[in-house]
Structure 1
């Protein structure tokens, strides 16, 4: 074992105690609501995190890449929802994963995709199960709950000899832009009601709709009712971040992820402190800026704590350089001499973690108690 004082920087740090607390809280909430928890592992991309996140539930997960699907299958997790609209050319990989034991649900909102998928299914001698993506306000992918296309897709899947209709899926990504708990609650209800309505329309048309899948972290936490929903797919709740804190979804002590960086210079002329973590190490995501002033590319904490130094933040980034500024006046050069290590709380945990191959796992201290791997890439 080693210490955060000795790891090479920049380094990705995960607090196991905070992670477990976050996951236990969500698991209890979904159990109390009578809803299956299918955590979205696109944030963590780690089998060790999956073990914690699926504890007490049925063990299925959500993935966003086929690389994740293969990785988790190799780690013994076979119930997988691939929650990105399918490109039919990827069915060769899906068929191989299914032949190796994966039970996969695929996603579409396109009849053209289904026609192409049926051709690939015949070519590959494979069967594929689909969820119809429903748009409940996010305006990304999906068909509206009242759309005639919904029934058209459902009928095509139901009548196909190689394709199957598993249910409907929606994602309230627009909850990330709400400015009050009441707004999130309304988005959560729109998400629930839209997915349930789509499912009911399919059933009324004589079509099967077993799965009604919804979920973002804000709506999973703030929803007043989940009646009619069979599963929820939150993801970033495992780690949380400044964006979720700014939304009022979590407290700062719930943020499990941070980046350790080293002070490499003082630029008095510019009024900045340089660190060795830039745009690649922290990401260039500025999502928290919608709600927080002077969050920049992350808040700066002492190495031994995750409570930020007051008014101190990463003001700008280059590829491998970050520049620390202070809200009022020059940054604290005396508190952060060259060689000092700091921890940066990220705006968006999913984006920040994407640059790293592993987590340095700690438990309320500087001692690294374990190293957990993660999967990156697309195939």
Structure 2
């Protein structure tokens, strides 16, 4: 959740024509040119500063989108599950960090994956390290998850004894290689300006380096991953690896926070209009929580689940008055907008919605239509499961 007191809308019109005639249900439209530009900008920053770029693929979950990264020289990636690792191994990715706490219940499957690619597991604490050391039979790299202030999971940043214990435990199993410390400063998503993001990032990196030094962890890397800080920092500082993911698409939350421009947003959900009620100032769309998620931002003390935009064969652009998705149920969405704008629509027309959180929206959509009319794959189409191995 984020509070934004106001924002300036920037008119944005794309020149690539797309065919909207075949869209019958909520459909996530992806602009390749924007996504590729986002990738190039982040890749260039890492190249210039000498930081390893290991992008998180949980946002797009697509072989096609993944190939856009490969085209720019990316060879190492991050995923959020073992099944996602399997999906991307199938398209040739062979150096993968699973940035989610190690789950002993899927250990056999992880062993299977380690025979197909270089896999780094994420350990959140001493107990998990002991379980992995006891059961590990295949080669794994190991990253230790550090909580630098987000408060979700991981070893506390000042737990020097805990860090040393983990290193000693991992050393008892020759299959395990301690690679480094990993953090996700997710609290950067909860602030509303770039200065606060930079402050959180700097504190996080200082805390990671403190632990590395005090625990005498020689020869290991420090890895950080969140889109707000990776976008706004000019110099990553004392960090070896960046793992942003959302930046490939960005979204309404990042735009309203000043992290990205409107022109950087690469996805919009095309939704059919099903009812117009100008007298009430609302328009009902087929586009609900099952399509967009229930993530929201707060604007003028109201929950907002997305921003309505004009969508046409030219692309998408904001209305000349801000129009927001203010209510969601399972399949329905309600857009609040002036009557004069509602008058431009009738049932069967399409309106675009910029999602609050593109990662969840893309996951729910399970596929994309590109602005050139072609389709892009998504992991969900393959219905991966661990019974396959």
- TM-score by length of structure 2 reads 0.87
Aligned mate of 1:342, from 334, 351, 356: 351
Match of 1:282 in 2: 292
- TM-score by length of structure 1 reads 0.90
| Partner SS, residue 365 of structure 2 | coil
Shift of 1:5: 2.8
Shift of 1:36: 0.9
Match of 1:102 in 2: 117
The answer to whether the Cα contact below 8 Å between 1:189 and 1:225 also exists between their aligned partners in 2 is: no
How large is the Cα RMSD of the aligned pairs? 2.1
The answer to whether the Cα contact below 8 Å between 1:306 and 1:345 also exists between their aligned partners in 2 is: no
Aligned mate of 2:145, from 125, 133, 149: 133
Query: In structure 2, do the counterparts of structure 1 residues 219 and 292 end up closer, same or farther at CA, with 3 Å as the change threshold?
Result: farther
User: Does 185-194 or 15-24 show the bigger shift?
Assistant: 185-194
Partners of 2:178 and 2:329 in 1: CA distance:
47
Partners of 1:111 and 1:378 in 2: CA distance:
31
Residues 186-240 of structure 1: CA deviation (Å, up to 9, x unaligned)? 11111222222333334x2xx4443211121111122243233111000000000
Shift of 1:53: 2.8
* Unpaired segments ≥5 residues, structure 2: 1-16
Partners of 2:384 and 2:224 in 1: CA distance:
24
The answer to whether the Cα contact below 8 Å between 1:242 and 1:348 also exists between their aligned partners in 2 is: yes
Partners of 1:331 and 1:114 in 2: CA distance:
61
Count of matched residue positions in the alignment of Structure 1 and Structure 2: 363
Partners of 1:161 and 1:350 in 2: CA distance:
37
Partners of 2:237 and 2:302 in 1: CA distance:
40
Match of 1:214 in 2: 224
Match of 1:229 in 2: 239
Match of 2:61 in 1: 45
The question of 1:296 aligning with 2:304 is answered yes
Match of 1:67 in 2: 83
Partners of 2:259 and 2:309 in 1: CA distance:
21
* Unpaired segments ≥5 residues, structure 1: none
Match of 1:317 in 2: 328
Partners of 1:187 and 1:25 in 2: CA distance:
22
Match of 1:36 in 2: 52
The answer to whether the Cα contact below 8 Å between 2:125 and 2:145 also exists between their aligned partners in 1 is: no
Partners of 2:300 and 2:21 in 1: CA distance:
30
Aligned mate of 1:187, from 200, 215, 219: 200
Flag the structure with more relative contact order, 1 or 2, with Cα contacts below 8 A and sequence separation at least 6.
2
Partners of 1:55 and 1:303 in 2: CA distance:
29
Match of 1:375 in 2: 379
Partners of 2:277 and 2:300 in 1: CA distance:
26
- Structure 1 residues 100-179: aligned runs within 5 Å: 101-121=116-136, 125-147=137-159, 148-179=161-192
Shift of 1:39: 0.4
Partners of 1:293 and 1:57 in 2: CA distance:
44
- Structure 1 residues 7-18: aligned runs within 5 Å: 7-18=23-34
Aligned mate of 1:82, from 98, 112, 117: 98
The answer to whether the Cα contact below 8 Å between 2:53 and 2:74 also exists between their aligned partners in 1 is: yes
